[in-house]
Amino acid sequence: MWMKYLKPYRVQALTGFIFKMIEAFFELIVPLVVADIIDNGISKMDSQYILKMGIVLFLLAIIGYCCALVCQYFASKTSQGFGTYLRNDMFKAMNAYDYENIDEIGTPSLITRITNDVNQLQVAVAMAIRLVSRSPFLIIGSLIMAFRIDMQMSLIFLFSAPLLGLVIYLVMSRSLPLYMRIQKQLDHVSLVCRENLSGIRVIRAFSKEVSEKERFREATENQKSMQIRVAKLSALLNPSTSIIVNCAILLILYVGGLKVNVGNLTQGEVIALINYMNQILLSMFVFANVIVIFNKASASYKRVKEVLAIHPHIQDGTLEVKESHSPSFIRFDHVSFSYQGSVALKDLTFEMNKGETIGIIGGTGSGKTTLVNLLPRFYEATEGQIYIKDLPIQKYSFQSLRKMMGIVPQKAVLFTGTIRENMCWGKKDATDSEIYDALQIAQATFVEEYQEGIDTFISQGGQNLSGGQKQRLTIARAIVKKPELLILDDSASALDFATDASLRQSLKKLSQTTIIVSQRVSSLMHADKILVLSHGELVGIGKHHDLLQNCAVYQEIVNSQLSEEVA
């Protein structure tokens, strides 16, 4: 997966890698130059030589600094490009999910994965270019330089390096599982935060601020305790490696001092060996931090890979929805649907003809919304078959199937922007006349009272509108696209009876097939056909007066509502 998103930036990544290696090469030369200054400049009191070699050190530092800047630039460009491509693919994958996929992972987790987890991977990519190559190069290079100076002294390096590697392995192998748990806990923190922000009005209405603060505190405390635990493990890394390296330096000083006394080693070479040991120490520190970053990235990688690996349960079709001369428009043939092991619809068989107005009524949890969600294939029927224009709906492409439908969900959702922009979701080139006609049908004439009309700005989630206004605008948005099938899923619940009646009268003038899901008998009693659901079963079908005679569930609903309305 990594290489797919790095491929467009392979030149930048390679350039950054090369410049970082050049910088590391110059770093390896510096201890030799310092040793030369000590042996040939300071020991011989040659100020000219010291000045000349000092200029060489300065030039090495400048060249190394410039190489580091070039590497930093290309590493940043590569990591940001990598993150952009990865986020785009993740967003594309998420948009292809069906409802079951989204329900399975959860919205807060998806948000965390496309933001925090991708950020972790971006940091890992940048560090891979900047430090992954540099640290091993310096460690191996320092060992080679130590061998070049003195074979016996280099044995101290060979003994120290495996010990450092063992310490790093022991710490990292225990911290990686904790990083996975931290990312999952972050999902939970995001969930609590999202629920509080979206449900702030309910929380305040029930005076639950204190308990919600406590719930959020518990979530963050759990995350903090995990972070502290992994930080304690990681904190063992630096002191343990420092002890090993400092012991090695003491050994170098001791053995080196003896060799200097007998003339087998110069003072400058001892200093060079100490510098190389310090370079190994610093490189190990950096490498340890890189491993920590890669541990986090590894946990994030698995979560991101999971998002990209999920394939929708519902597969797209290929056919376009075309005109049909058959009067049958929609047909359910022994359709059943189960959700996470729970049966939502049982053996539904009925038919809808073109131009009909179909009402769906039933108690809470009877399966009304589930039924209409099967038509645009938000969910797939587990048994039986649904036909549209005498063809199974699986044969139609999602775009073609949903293009022919105007869907108004239970929850009125509007997007930040103007009313015009929201109205044009179903038809990009909708004219002002078409928009105003749709607003008139949806009883959204209040828009004309605004100073800016359809160019009035809608805030996030339509917070500057009432519930009834939002519902009428969402109905108008569906009408603008002039669909063959208009689905109103309890979308007039916030309207008063007079406005609801006017809306129904206006909808009758349209030629499309209309499905109205409602709890109100008054909204459905004039429909051509009414479906009565109870616990997922179709217990009645027919006109209002027929159901009053032969459907006990419908009679019960009518009697309860009529008594309420009279009261």
Cβ atoms of 332 and 383 closer than 8 Å:
no
Sign of CA dihedral 361, 367, 372, 375: negative
d(Cα 296, Cα 133) in Å, to the nearest integer? 19
| Domain match, 303 and 378 both | no
The two tokens of residue 432 are 């002002």
Cβ atoms of 556 and 534 closer than 8 Å:
no
Q: What is the pLDDT of residue 562?
A: 64
Task: Say which residue the tokens 């105007």 belong to.
Answer: 406
> Please, is 239 exposed, middle or buried when counting C-beta atoms within 10 Å of its C-beta (0-12, 13-18, 19+)?
exposed
d(Cα 231, Cα 238) in Å, to the nearest integer? 12
The two tokens of residue 138 are 């310096």
Reference 121, options 90, 69, 88, 86; nearest CA is 86
Reference 381, options 315, 337, 333, 334; nearest CA is 337
DSSP string, 464-516: TS-HHHHHHHHHHHHHHT--SEEEEESTTTTS-HHHHHHHHHHHHTS-SEEEE
Angle between helices 118-127 and 267-309 (to 10 degrees): 150
Give the single-character DSSP code of 363. Answer: S
Q: What is the pLDDT of residue 1?
A: 61
The residue segments making up the domain with residue 339 are: 328-566
Which among 275, 309, 343 is the end of a domain?
A: 309
Give bridge partners of residue 533 from the DSSP assignment: 362, 538
Q: In this structure, is residue 201 part of a structural domain?
A: no
Q: What is the pLDDT of residue 138?
A: 81
| Domain match, 370 and 245 both | no
Reference 339, options 311, 381, 384, 386; nearest CA is 381
Percent helix, strand and coil across the chain, each to the nearest 5: 65, 10, 20
| Domain match, 292 and 362 both | no
Q: In this structure, is residue 466 part of a structural domain?
A: yes
Sign of CA dihedral 172, 175, 181, 184: negative
d(Cα 307, Cα 279) in Å, to the nearest integer? 41
Task: Say which residue the tokens 């890394």 belong to.
Answer: 237
Reference 352, options 397, 388, 395, 376; nearest CA is 388
- Give the full edge-to-edge strand order of the sheet including 405-408: 391-392, 383-388, 328-339, 342-353, 537-542, 529-534, 357-362, 513-517, 485-489, 405-408
| Domain match, 373 and 471 both | yes
| Domain match, 375 and 496 both | yes
The two tokens of residue 551 are 């459907």
| Domain match, 465 and 415 both | yes
Contacts of 61 (CB under 8 A, 6+ apart): none
567 residues of the chain, pLDDT tens digit each = 667 888 888 888 889 888 888 888 888 888 888 877 887 777 777 788 888 888 888 898 898 889 889 998 999 999 999 999 999 999 998 888 887 788 778 787 888 889 888 998 999 888 888 877 777 788 788 778 877 777 777 777 777 777 877 887 787 777 777 777 887 787 788 778 878 877 887 888 888 888 888 888 988 888 888 888 888 877 777 788 778 878 887 887 788 778 778 777 778 877 888 887 777 777 777 777 787 788 778 878 888 888 888 888 788 888 888 877 777 889 999 999 988 778 889 999 999 998 889 999 988 888 898 999 999 988 889 999 999 988 999 999 988 888 889 999 888 888 888 989 989 988 888 888 999 999 998 888 888 888 888 888 988 777 788 888 888 899 999 999 888 899 998 887 778 788 888 888 888 878 788 999 988 888 888 888 999 999 889 999 999 988 988 899 998 888 887 654 432
Give the single-character DSSP code of 9. Answer: G
Type of residue numbered 132:
V
Cβ atoms of 82 and 125 closer than 8 Å:
yes
| Domain match, 298 and 348 both | no
Helices within 206-338 (DSSP H only): 209-235, 237-262, 267-309
Q: In this structure, is residue 316 part of a structural domain?
A: no
Q: In this structure, is residue 22 part of a structural domain?
A: yes
Return the CATH number at 248. Answer: 1.20.1560.10
Q: In this structure, is residue 293 part of a structural domain?
A: yes
| Domain match, 304 and 406 both | no
Which among 251, 276, 309 is the end of a domain?
A: 309
Return the CATH number at 390. Answer: 3.40.50.300
| Domain match, 282 and 333 both | no
Q: What is the pLDDT of residue 2?
A: 65
Q: What is the pLDDT of residue 253?
A: 79
| Domain match, 263 and 385 both | no
Q: Half-sphere exposure of residue 455, counting CA atoms within 13 Å on the CB side? A: 2
The domain tally of the chain equals 2
Q: In this structure, is residue 555 part of a structural domain?
A: yes
Q: In this structure, is residue 525 part of a structural domain?
A: yes
| Domain match, 148 and 20 both | yes
| Domain match, 87 and 146 both | yes
Helices within 97-150 (DSSP H only): 99-105, 107-112, 118-127, 134-149
Reference 156, options 230, 247, 31, 241; nearest CA is 247
Which among 280, 309, 338 is the end of a domain?
A: 309
171: three-class secondary structure by DSSP: helix
DSSP string, 433-465: HHHHHHHHHTT-GGGGGSTTGGG-EE-GGGTTS
Reference 71, options 150, 128, 114; nearest CA is 128
Sign of CA dihedral 420, 369, 106, 303: negative
CA angle 180, 133, 19 (to 5 degrees): 130
d(Cα 393, Cα 381) in Å, to the nearest integer? 11
